[in-house]
Amino acid sequence: MDLREECRGAKRIGISGHIRPDGDCVGVCLSLQMYLRKLLPEAEVTVYIQKPSEEFSYLKGYDEIQTECPEQDPFDVYFALDCSGDRLGDAEKYFQNAKKKINIDHHISNSGCGDVNLVRPEVGSACEVLYHIMDAELIDRDIAEALYTGIIHDTGVFQYSNTTPETLQAAAFLISFGFDFSKIIEESFYQKTYLQSQIMGRALMESIRFMDGRCIVSMVDRKTMDFYNAVPGDLDGIVNQLRNIKGIDCAIFMYETGVLEYKVSMRSNEKVDVAKVASFFGGGGHVRAAGCTMKGTFHDCINNLSLHIDKQLRGEQD
Ligand code: 5GP
Ligand code: MN
């Protein structure tokens, strides 16, 4: 994809990523904004996403992020990044009404929702997909920092199997700009607030193993969220911690989003394709990390998920 060609003549460009933006989502939106401003100095380029965690406030453009989407004239070009059009939240109307829609993503569950699509499920992060279509000459320290942030978040600091030689080559080029990468990894990825650590401890303590110890689940209900005054972002990392437990093939973490409604996160080690499981329930994601929203009691949800996980563990096709 040639970004200069695709945006030629555009005066107003909008950019959005998925609801509950994570490091990859924030990094890809802000790096594209900085890049397009250099590529097309005449164009007005704006990012519309839900307020990202303060952990990302070191990124250039963080303070300019628009979190409200008031009615306005159609954009000349609108980018949906790190997701398909149905996960843009309030900004979906901007994308759908734009004169030209561009979708850049790496989710296997996304078949492309733009007039122009670049969806590469084999690539570990949306930031890496974007990096490969950028002109290296235009990348500067701020853009490099934002791309690097997305790459480390979606590869678990180069640990997950979505890390490739190309990922490390990209990272090698990016850190040559001299930003403090150790600090970014420590403060945006590993560091937890006291509250986040407490709620994680509680979730681990209350977790339950099932299917002969190959699966594990934990749930945080509304009451507990209120007790700790926690927001969904405070629960990040819990499902990864569950997946780290020896002997676990599939980890499930859920939190209550409404009456008989749960947001479900799944992680797997080698055997289970959790994107496939999530897609049965209207969600999606990647083979080793996926999610969905489910209705019913906690036990209904677990029973329904187990059915699909068990089939995969027994080697049956759905
Ligand atoms: P997480 O469990 O960290 O929220 O998400 C893991 C992966 O699955 C991410 O790539 C995320 O974008 C994707 N994902 C999580 N929930 C949903 C969902 O409800 N629908 C879709 N399509 N993808 C999801
Ligand atoms: Mn991503």
Q: How far, in Å, CA of 172 to CA of 18, rounded?
A: 27
Q: Is there a domain that residue 205 lies in?
A: yes
Q: What share of the chain is helix, strand, coil (3-state, %, to 5)?
A: 45, 20, 40
Q: Is there a domain that residue 318 lies in?
A: no
What are 5-46's pLDDT values in tens digits? 999 999 999 999 999 999 999 999 999 999 999 999 999 999
Residue 176 and residue 201 in one domain: no
Q: Is there a domain that residue 51 lies in?
A: yes
pLDDT at 317 over 70: no
- Mean pLDDT, residues 117-144: 98
Q: Within 13 Å and on the Cβ side, how many CA atoms surround 224? A: 20
pLDDT at 138 over 70: yes
Residue 135 and residue 218 in one domain: no
Tell me which of 190, 214, 244 is where a domain ends.
Answer: 190
Bridge partners (DSSP) listed for residue 12: 44
What residues make up the domain containing 183? 3-190
Q: Is there a domain that residue 29 lies in?
A: yes
pLDDT at 270 over 90: no
Q: How far, in Å, CA of 170 to CA of 89, rounded?
A: 30
Residue 139 and residue 239 in one domain: no
Ligand (nearest to CA of 104): 2
Task: Tell me the average pLDDT of the chain.
Answer: 96
Phi, psi angle pair for 33, to nearest 5°: -60, -50
Residue 29 and residue 123 in one domain: yes
pTM for the structure as a whole: 0.91
- Mean pLDDT, residues 155-173: 96
Q: Is there a domain that residue 46 lies in?
A: yes
SS3 call for 64: helix
pLDDT of residue 100: 98
pLDDT at 90 over 70: yes
Pairing state between β 261-268 and 250-258: antiparallel
Q: Which of 235, 155, 150, 159 is nearest to 188 (CA)?
A: 150
Residue 146 and residue 290 in one domain: no
Residue 185 and residue 198 in one domain: no
The CATH number covering residue 81 comes to 3.90.1640.10
Amino acid at 247: G
Residue 105 and residue 162 in one domain: yes
Q: How far, in Å, CA of 77 to CA of 112, rounded?
A: 16
Q: Which of 271, 276, 279, 284 is nearest to 313 (CA)?
A: 271
Q: How far, in Å, CA of 138 to CA of 134, rounded?
A: 8
Return the minimum-mean-pLDDT range out of 102-106, 173-177, 231-235, 308-312: 231-235
Residue 58 and residue 147 in one domain: yes
pLDDT of residue 315: 86
pLDDT at 171 over 90: yes
Q: What's the number of domains the chain is made of?
A: 2
Q: Which residues of 248-274 are buried (b: 16+ CB within 10 A; e: fewer)?
A: bbbbbbbbbbeeeebbbbbbbbeebbb
Residue 307 and residue 253 in one domain: yes
Nearest CA to ligand 1 atom 6: 290
Nearest CA to ligand 1 atom 7: 290
> Exposed (0-12), middle (13-18) or buried (19+): which is 117, by Cβ within 10 Å?
middle
User: 265 CB under 6 A from ligand 1?
Assistant: yes
pLDDT of residue 117: 98
pLDDT of residue 109: 87
pLDDT of residue 318: 60
The CATH number covering residue 267 comes to 3.10.310.30
User: 23 CB under 6 A from ligand 1?
Assistant: no
Tell me which of 148, 164, 190 is where a domain ends.
Answer: 190
Tell me which of 190, 209, 229 is where a domain ends.
Answer: 190
Amino acid at 109: S
For helices 141-154 and 23-39, angle between their N-to-C axes, nearest 10 degrees: 150
CA 267 / ligand 1 centre spacing (Å):
10
Residue 219 and residue 118 in one domain: no
Residue 44 and residue 168 in one domain: yes
What are 180-209's pLDDT values in tens digits? 999 999 999 999 999 999 999 999 999 999
Residue 151 and residue 228 in one domain: no
